[in-house]
Amino acid sequence: MFLESLLKSPSPTGFESSVQKVVKDYITPYAHSVETDSHGNLIACVNPSGKPRVMIAGHCDQLGFMVKKISKEGYIYVTALGGIDPGVIPGSLVWIHSKKGVVKGVFGRKPIHLQSAEERQKMSLELSKMWIDIGARSEKEARNYVEIGDPVTFELTVQYLLNDFVSAPGLDDKVGVFVAFETLRVLSKQKLSCAVYAVSTVQEEIGLRGAKTSAYSVNPDVGFAVDVTFSSDNPGSDEQKLADIKLGQGPAIVVGPNANLKVNEILFQLCKRKRIPYQLDPVGGALGNDANAIQVSKSGVATGSIGIPNRYMHTQVEICAFSDLENAVRLLAEFCLSLKPNSNFTLL
Ligand SMILES: [Zn+2]
């Protein structure tokens, strides 16, 4: 299935082409056009001559590493691609995506027996001091398989948990890509006034960069980012700090300066009328996702941000609920169907 194919395709930031190929193969039969650009974004469209122009973005890049150094003994040192949590690295399984294919490795760790009392208290969490062991006996042997600059991800496996919960590395934000392109697929069979562009953006994790370049070329009137948002329904979340958001209770609609009031009004009305469950995600500043870049593209874009509730963000065991994806697709499809050629989002 589409989501599983996305999750099993590597897309560390800056190395997104294998996942973009999956998106392209999936959407080509349904889209009027499918284009890629020199930055790596993939843009698919239905009803290109429609009005207004709607862009739905999900970022396809995932956190990862890149090979920086290989020691004389054949151990591999890496630099981070994006905001990886060093706390979850030691003892993890990784795949190095070399030119010859996947090379499996593990992040090593000093055995607990050999750690001093001080080390047990605060064993270094500096990535520069961590190493990947691929089983090589020497630098020469390691270099037969791995090159400096090769991208690395956590092992790309998908775990199906109870209910409709799914756990995998990179749910942030392959769930967003899934929602954007499923929405486009659903709309490809409908009569639409608006033009809809689903965009699989690159390099979000290092500064919303693919959203910047693609929003410029798509030139939308309305733009959505679909991205994961923190759920507050687990022991790791700070109840007072976070909005009340639970897995499986519907997509979280951002309210605040990064969301256009008229766009949100339509979303809330549709949720009520079509009985689509939703949650509220109040954010007082500019968002840390693609909606931020889209809103201030060119002379400004009416923006909405649809959050998919997510546990354990930026670890290799993130969790989302499948029903939240389905409801996000329903909501975005209904939004596009509700637009008229003269729909206007200018405030005042
Ligand atoms: Zn994200």
Clarify whether residues 180 and 282 are in a common domain.
yes
Q: Report pLDDT digits (tens) over 24-60.
A: 999 999 999 999 999 999 999 999 999 999 999 999 9
CA of 209 to the centre of ligand 1 (A): 12
Ion ligand 1: protein residues whose beta carbon lies under 5 Å: 172-173, 227
Residue 215 confidence (pLDDT) above 90: yes
Distance 289 CA to ligand 1 centre (A): 6
Distance (angstroms) between ligand 1 centre and the Cα of 342 equals 32
pTM: 0.97
pLDDT of residue 115: 87
Å from CA of 340 to ligand 1 middle: 31
Nearest to 180 by CA among 224, 230, 231: 224
pLDDT reported for residue 117: 85
- Do 263 and 277 have their domain in common? yes
Assess whether pLDDT exceeds 90 at residue 125.
Answer: no
Q: What is the pLDDT of residues 73-117, one digit of tens each?
A: 999 999 999 999 999 999 999 999 999 999 999 999 888 898 888
- How many helical (H) and strand (E) elements, i.e. helices and strands, does the chain have? 9, 17
Residue 345 within a domain: no
Say if residue 265 is in the same domain as residue 291.
yes
Q: Would you say residue 164 lies in a domain?
A: no
Instruction: Judge whether 97 lies within some domain.
Output: yes
Q: With a cut of 80, say whether residue 123 has pLDDT above it.
A: no
Question: Residue 198 is part of a domain; what is its CATH number?
Answer: 3.40.630.10
Task: Give pLDDT, residue 94.
Answer: 98
Q: What is the pLDDT of residue 348?
A: 85
Residues 319 and 256 in one domain: yes
Average pLDDT for residues 12-26, to the nearest whole number? 98
The range of the structural domain enclosing residue 150 comes to 64-154
pLDDT of residue 124 exceeding 80, the answer is no
Query: What does the mean pLDDT of the chain come to?
Result: 96
**87 and 196 both lie in a single domain:** no
Average pLDDT over residues 321-347: 97
Active site residue 118: no
The pLDDT of residue 163 is: 96
**What pLDDT is stored for residue 29 in this prediction?**
98
Average pLDDT over residues 200-211: 96
Higher model confidence: residue 118 or residue 216? Answer: 216
- The mean per-residue pLDDT over the stretch 250-271 comes to 98
How many domains does one find in the chain?
2
Backbone angles phi and psi of 166, in degrees to 5: -130, 140
Q: In what order do the strands lie in the sheet with 319-321?
A: 159-160, 165-167, 319-321
Choose one of 125, 154, 183: the last residue of a domain.
154
Is 240 a residue whose pLDDT tops 90?
A: no
The Å distance, Cα 226 to ligand 1 centre, comes to: 8
Grade residue 269 by pLDDT with cuts at 50, 70 and 90.
Answer: very high
What's the pLDDT score for residue 101?
96
Helix, strand, or coil (residue 154): strand
Q: What percent of the chain is predicted at pLDDT more than 90? A: 91
Pick the catalytic residue from 16, 204, 318, 334: 204
* % the chain with pLDDT above 70: 99
More confident site: 114 or 134 = 134
Residue 118 alpha carbon to ligand 1 centre in Å: 36
| Helix 261-273 and helix 322-338, axial crossing angle in degrees, nearest 10 | 110
Q: In angstroms, what is the span from residue 119 Cα to ligand 1's centroid?
A: 33
Same domain as 323, residue 211: yes
Mean pLDDT computed over 224-253:
94
Q: Are 194 and 52 in contact (CB under 8 A)?
A: yes
SS3 call for 326? helix
The answer to whether residue 217 sits within a structural domain is: yes
